């Protein structure tokens, strides 16, 4: 700062000298250069009026030079600099909030309306909505909440509206490769629930068997999590790890003993479920992943029963120019191992005592084609879809069943977030009745 003041004073002195020379240079030259001898008698002294005029002009010049010098020496204080930084940050924050997707509160979600015609049953309409609320109170901190709201009628003719809270968590972005959070969240087991089950993303009117109601894959759980991605040259590795209350072992239901209740959000023991998913993207349009979850889901006397869940998934999307369109190939396989236990040991539930362990598995594979390179816009909006899914529960345990389904359909995309679907599903069960059905659905992203 002192060095700057010295420079200002040096420049101020030089400027004053230059200005004085410009204003009074001719007079100074005349005063210092003696006139020729033959012209001495012609010089007359200045009058009092001329002297006063020159004096006033010199005073004004000094005042102007002093003002210029003061301005040149003035420097902003630290308080001025802090105020400038604060105002600049406020302007930047306001500009960021004005960007799309940077609002403090965002309400999104999805909705669907459908119609089903089972081969052995009554046709029925259905409707549902799943609002999603995103709240960002400060940078890097995000709170999200979502719920599934639907209407249904049971076998007695009683109608009701269901409300299921599926997400309620807070997450913090530590850095580009790490996000941590806690609350009720969709566990990263496989990829279907995390990425593909909204009706405007799912290309089919229903869910694959392992991820549907009564399936063998978990949905939402309560706990803590961390996730991120790490670039490896031109490839990418993703990771998700979590610690949750975990599922609950069903012990007294004669139709479901030995299976897991994934909707139990309060832990029944001090053991927690630990799990995660690790993905690998060799190229941007292809990903493969492995998921695992380990827990002890039972209370006394089932505290030593273990549950090991595993899954693998593959996703590949490729535009094939000779075939004028995009192929979407996706598949997942889930297998579980629940430890051996004796259920209904006293026979009070009416189905025991019975001792067994349970190995269950299921999965799906789908192939879809959309003619995105066709010349006609209407044709480009159609998509042909097909899927095979299955689920196997040992026949010698409660609720045992082997089921396989094929579904074929046509989708029409009105917009990237609005799709109409028409499909026919062929069902084959070993124990229960087959449920062939015509399915129609309109999926909307809000």
Rounded Cα distance between 235 and 283, Å, is 6
Averaged pLDDT score across all residues of the chain: 86
Burial of 51 per CB tally in 10 Å (0-12, 13-18, 19+): exposed
Q: Which of 41-45, 166-170, 350-354 has the lowest mean pLDDT?
A: 41-45
Residue 19: predicted pLDDT: 39
Given the candidates 3.30.1380.20, 2.60.40.1930, 2.40.160.10, 1.20.58.1030, the CATH classification of the domain at 98-445 is: 2.40.160.10
Q: What's the average model confidence in pLDDT over 63-73?
A: 67
DSSP 298: -
Q: What is the percent of the chain with per-residue pLDDT over 70, rounded to a whole number?
A: 85
Residue 14: predicted pLDDT: 43
- So where are the chain's domains? 2-32+46-75, 98-445
Q: Which of 48-57, 137-146, 272-281, 437-446 has the lowest mean pLDDT?
A: 48-57
Residue 44: predicted pLDDT: 58
Question: Is pLDDT of 419 > 50?
Answer: yes
Residue 8: predicted pLDDT: 38
Q: pLDDT digits over 201-244, tens only?
A: 999 999 999 999 889 999 999 999 999 999 998 899 999 999 99
Q: What's the average model confidence in pLDDT over 49-73?
A: 71
Q: pLDDT digits over 375-386, tens only?
A: 999 999 999 999
Q: pLDDT digits over 74-111, tens only?
A: 556 677 777 877 888 778 777 766 666 556 889 999 99
Rounded Cα distance between 166 and 106, Å, is 17
This prediction's pTM: 0.75
Question: Any idea what the Cα angle at residue 273 is, between residues 256 and 144, rounded to 5°?
Answer: 100
Residue 152: predicted pLDDT: 75
């Amino acid at each position: 700062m002192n060095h700057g003041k010295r420079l200002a004073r040096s420049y101020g002195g030089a400027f004053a000298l230059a200005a004085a020379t410009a204003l009074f240079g001719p007079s100074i030259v005349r005063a210092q250069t003696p006139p020729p001898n033959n012209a001495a008698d012609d010089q007359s002294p200045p009058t009092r009026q001329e002297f006063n005029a020159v004096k006033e002009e010199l005073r004004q010049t000094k005042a102007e030079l002093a003002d210029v010098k003061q301005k040149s020496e003035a420097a902003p204080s630290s308080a001025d600099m802090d105020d400038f930084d604060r105002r600049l940050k406020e302007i930047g924050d306001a500009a960021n909030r004005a960007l799309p997707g940077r609002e403090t509160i965002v309400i999104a979600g999805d909705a669907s309306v459908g119609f089903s015609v089972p081969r052995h049953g009554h046709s029925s309409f259905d409707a549902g909505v799943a609002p999603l609320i995103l709240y960002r109170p400060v940078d890097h901190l995000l709170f999200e909440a979502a719920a599934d709201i639907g209407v249904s009628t049971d076998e007695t003719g009683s109608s009701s509206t269901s409300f299921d809270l599926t997400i309620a968590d807070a997450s913090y972005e530590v850095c580009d490769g790490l996000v941590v959070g806690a609350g009720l969240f969709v566990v990263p087991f496989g990829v279907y629930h995390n990425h593909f089950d909204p009706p405007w993303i799912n290309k089919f009117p229903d869910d694959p068997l392992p991820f549907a109601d009564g399936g063998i894959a978990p949905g939402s759980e309560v706990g803590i999590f961390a996730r991120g991605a790490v670039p490896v040259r031109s490839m990418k590795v993703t990771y998700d790890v979590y610690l949750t209350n975990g599922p609950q072992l069903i012990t007294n239901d004669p139709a479901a003993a030995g299976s897991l209740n994934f909707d139990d959000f309060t832990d029944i023991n001090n053991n927690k479920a630990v799990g995660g998913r690790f993905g690998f993207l060799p190229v941007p349009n292809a990903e493969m992943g492995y998921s695992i979850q380990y827990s002890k889901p039972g209370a006394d006397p089932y505290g030593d029963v273990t549950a090991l869940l595993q899954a693998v998934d593959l996703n590949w999307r490729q535009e094939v120019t000779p075939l004028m369109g995009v192929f979407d190939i996706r598949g997942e396989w889930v297998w579980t191992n629940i430890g051996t236990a004796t259920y209904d040991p006293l026979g009070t539930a009416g189905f025991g005592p019975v001792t067994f362990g349970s190995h269950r598995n299921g999965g799906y594979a789908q192939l879809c084609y959309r003619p995105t390179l066709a010349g006609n816009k209407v044709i480009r909006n159609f998509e042909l879809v097909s899927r095979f899914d299955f689920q196997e529960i040992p026949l010698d345990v409660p609720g045992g069943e082997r089921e396989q389904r094929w579904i074929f359909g046509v989708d029409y995309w009105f917009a990237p977030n609005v799709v109409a679907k028409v499909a026919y599903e062929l069902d084959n069960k070993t124990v229960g009745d087959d449920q062939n059905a015509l399915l129609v659905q309109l999926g909307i992203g809000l």
